Structure 1
């Protein structure tokens, strides 16, 4: 019989998705995040926004000993990751790796691309540069979820070069690749399409709006993208789950725009779409035994998606609604229609994420239609709440 699995901590802006991924792999969990949503289904401590993220390591001390992993946002705070790693085994990339792979120049230094390549890295310039050609984006060095990205206009005020950089803008479909790296190999686990710049989610142009997958890339692009992920991992020292956001253009060329050196929002889409509990791969990359725990391989849907619904206006989250439909004991493989559900009475400001919608379907296009229809229903519900 296998030894009992350790209790794993999840620390970051939002822990729910990673906690559920751990449950699919058979790991109990606790969490420290900004929300402690109703559907977290784990012991949790809420970090006040004024103390985020530096108050998180101290809050984590109340939980049992064991490994900890971090989610979105903490890759921008290597000092906080270092404090977590000083107190517990870290199932994540250490500060030195974060500093290396989050450098805007890193991808271009690792991957020398040329005309005709299936993967090409966009050009990068310092934040105070004046490009001579092309269209460009201003991006924060410490960015996450699309926050702070805007088109570059020469007439705009010059940004702080130490806090921003310019990246060549590419026209195409935003996507994300999920990789897992270990000492033995680097594997591409799957690709999703990102729901960025979709008005029906009430999100800004560059804000992360969710993911739909799995996406099948042209064979040459998929093969080259796999080699690109391997090059990043070997050059940067990446271990465990990591993601690469990219744009795929009309010619099928992938243009990587960002490395996410931790558990990403696309992971649970890949898990539900393929039936693979990929947190097992993450755990074994850090030396955990695989054991004889079952890995579910019978996905119920050919396509799966999650969409982050943002508030169209200010309102107080109601006590009851269609998000109260979960019944029975928690099953991490069941498909909730709503996730990341806030507490009743919470004040939601315009543009804030409200919760995550989830849908399965016969194809990615079918999933998108279902998600859009549900988002329209929510617009009507919250319009009525606002008018009361």
Structure 2
């Protein structure tokens, strides 16, 4: 059975599928060097030279022969494209009808409040002058186009104003069979970290497991119990299948749901590193009704921490010879000589350490070293071109 992987970036899911000996072909935007080493890949950027257009992504994918379909970000916001692709092969994941419901924030937040769970207050009209608020698109991903709301400004169509909550940005991954769910990770999200060249509110990585300074194992068990109860109710009500993600704010020992990502999520490759399980295999089996006998609670307390960070370009750059990056543990690797524009991702960094702070420090150190190398390359290129340009 050949499975089509499709999304903005399919490298991590493709790597998992390849490791699990699945026959896959991928269609995404970036077409990274390390992905093309593993599986057949068609890239909007590399093979067609176009900007990201989800409609074009769907058109290219539709031309490929496949038996089953697995999607990642941001296809969950385009159920009509998933529906079109589903005419050619079985969906491994959530159906278009499930996507329409679970990505409807009004519907999801109403359900969660009715079940006694907490969500941030969300308004369609500008709020009064009290409190701190953010404005965000109704459908987005990775923190794109989220900013603080300035009192008095207009709220564009398809945007909402949401209560800003101080707390720890967090995520949970879970696997579901349409009725039941098993939580397989709790992570801290890295959001808007300048060390990785990104602006406020933008997602740039995770650290697994979630660890709260000054809190013991019992505290983490309480958080896990809250998460498990929430995803149990969501799964049963909406009929979620396969691997999914929950983004939430952890505040004063309580979780505030932000969104459900009803597909493979960026933090899941850390689960493979930490727990030695194959996420793509879990996803396929769950879609067939088989859940894993996995207990996250039994993994407490953690002896090792695993981190990933996406490094973004702070200015337009040209990378050098990147062929050795994969062996250094770098992922989402650009091709040698690629030109990367300011604000675009350069690559993904991975780290393992015995503590949360050490893990984050390793990621930051890798980012600083890579930026130093890239700056040196830009200087060398300028020095080479300067005499030519002066002729």
Structure 2 length normalisation: TM-score?
A: 0.85
Which residue does the alignment assign to 1:111?
Answer: 112
Is 1:374 aligned to residue 366 of structure 2? yes
Segment drifting more, 50-59 vs 301-310: 50-59
State the SS of the aligned residue for 2:26. strand
1:1-388 alignment, distance < 5 Å: 6-40=1-35, 41-47=38-44, 48=48, 49-50=50-51, 52-61=53-62, 63-112=64-113, 120-126=118-124, 128-131=125-128, 133-156=130-153, 158-161=154-157, 163-183=158-178, 185-215=180-210, 218-249=220-251, 251-287=252-288, 302-318=304-320, 320-321=321-322, 324-326=324-326, 337-387=329-379, 388=382
Q: Give the distance between the partners of 2:135 and 2:174, measured in 1 at CA.
A: 27
Segment drifting more, 205-214 vs 342-351: 342-351
State the SS of the aligned residue for 2:55. coil
Counting matched residue pairs gives 359
Q: Give the distance between the partners of 1:35 and 1:301, measured in 2 at CA.
A: 35
Report the alpha carbon displacement of residue 345 of structure 1 after superposing the two structures with TM.
Answer: 2.6
Deviations 1:162-199 (A, max 9, x none): x1111111101111110111045211111111111211
5+ unaligned residues in a row in structure 2: which ranges? 212-218, 292-298, 383-391
Whether the 8 Å CA contact 2:67–2:88 is kept in 1: the answer is no
Q: Give the distance between the partners of 2:131 and 2:362, measured in 1 at CA.
A: 37
Q: Over the residues paired in the alignment, what is the CA RMSD in angstroms?
A: 2.4
Report the alpha carbon displacement of residue 109 of structure 1 after superposing the two structures with TM.
Answer: 1.4
5+ unaligned residues in a row in structure 1: which ranges? 1-5, 291-297, 328-335
Report the alpha carbon displacement of residue 142 of structure 1 after superposing the two structures with TM.
Answer: 1.7
Whether the 8 Å CA contact 1:301–1:360 is kept in 2: the answer is no
Whether the 8 Å CA contact 2:129–2:151 is kept in 1: the answer is no
Q: Give the distance between the partners of 1:303 and 1:317, measured in 2 at CA.
A: 30
Q: 1:132 to 1:225 in 2, by over 3 A?
A: farther
Whether the 8 Å CA contact 2:29–2:52 is kept in 1: the answer is no
Q: Give the distance between the partners of 2:122 and 2:18, measured in 1 at CA.
A: 40
Which residue does the alignment assign to 2:294?
Answer: none
Whether the 8 Å CA contact 1:178–1:242 is kept in 2: the answer is yes
